[in-house]
Chains A and B, each alone.
Chain A
Amino acid sequence: MSRFAPGDKVRVLADFTRPGHVRTPWYCRDKAGVVERVCGAFRNPEALAYAKDGLPELPLYRVRFAQRELWPDYRGGADDVVEIEIYEPWLLPAEA
């Protein structure tokens, strides 16, 4: 079961010190975005990276971020976005 649905507002965990292999890019942590789609469920890469089985599978979401949310001095268009695939444990519900 996935916790979020397309259109849900989410915020990436403000975890900047997690050790080991992490699949969530630094630049999107603690940033707000919108779930664009549920990609399915996959083994956890943070465990697979250490030869563990990575189970249970985790829901993976494609999250859309405004470029201006990610980069305060972004010089491109206001509508520019970037989409990042993020595993569920990294996401929190965000206020509308």
Chain B
Amino acid sequence: MSFAIGSLEGLPHARSLCRHIRLPGRRPGGYACAMTDKPENRRYHDMGGLPAGPIENEDHEPDLWEKRVDAMMVCLGTSAPDGKRLITVDEIRRVIEDLPPDAYDTMSYYERWVHSIATILAERGVYTPEELDAKLAEVKARSKQQAGEGAAQ
């Protein structure tokens, strides 16, 4: 689906604002698994016990767009009066787990959420990928126009 990762372009500064919550790089020094370990079958996200390097414990203030993604997820995951909801956390995880290793390592926490939400809503028919692409183009054009007006003042 064309909107998967590229859709982040619609979010101003998404890439630069959240790079500090990336996963640390893999480093040697973890524990070996037992005889049953068959690395070729292990899915990439299922990394418990693998070398991962130091953990970054620094807090950071969430950016506005990250708060919006969080709020959107809460709304989509809350049941309507009829008991139905548009997204479960299990679906969110499933889509994130299906990311290719490169994307899994380089996307930030909320970038992965946005990717997952966008995918699930398309799966559930809330919008078509074409509709999402059109909306993103519209938002992008608006941001560009606003930036232009800001520069002119």
Contacts and interface: CB of A to CB of B under 8 A. Distances in A.
Interface of A: 14, 16-17, 20-22, 25-27, 29-31, 45, 48-51, 54, 70-74
A50 B93 CA distance: 10
Interface string B36-71: 111001110010110000000000000000000000
B90 A73 contact: no
A4 to B, nearest CB: 22
B1 interface: no
Interface of B: 31-34, 36-38, 41-43, 46, 48-49, 88, 90-91, 93-94, 97, 123-124
Prevailing SS type, chain B contact patch: loop
A13 B146 CA distance: 57
Given A49-B94, A51-B123, A31 B38 contact: no
B121 to A, nearest CB: 11
A6 B40 CA distance: 34
A14 B31 CA distance: 20
Contact of A16 (B38, B94, B123): B38
7 contacts: A17-B41, A21-B97, A27-B48, A49-B90, A49-B94, A51-B91, A70-B49
Contact of B42 (A26, A54, A73, A74): A26
A70 to B, nearest CB: 7
Contacts of A74: 31
B34 A16 contact: no
B116 to A, nearest CB: 11
B34 A31 contact: yes
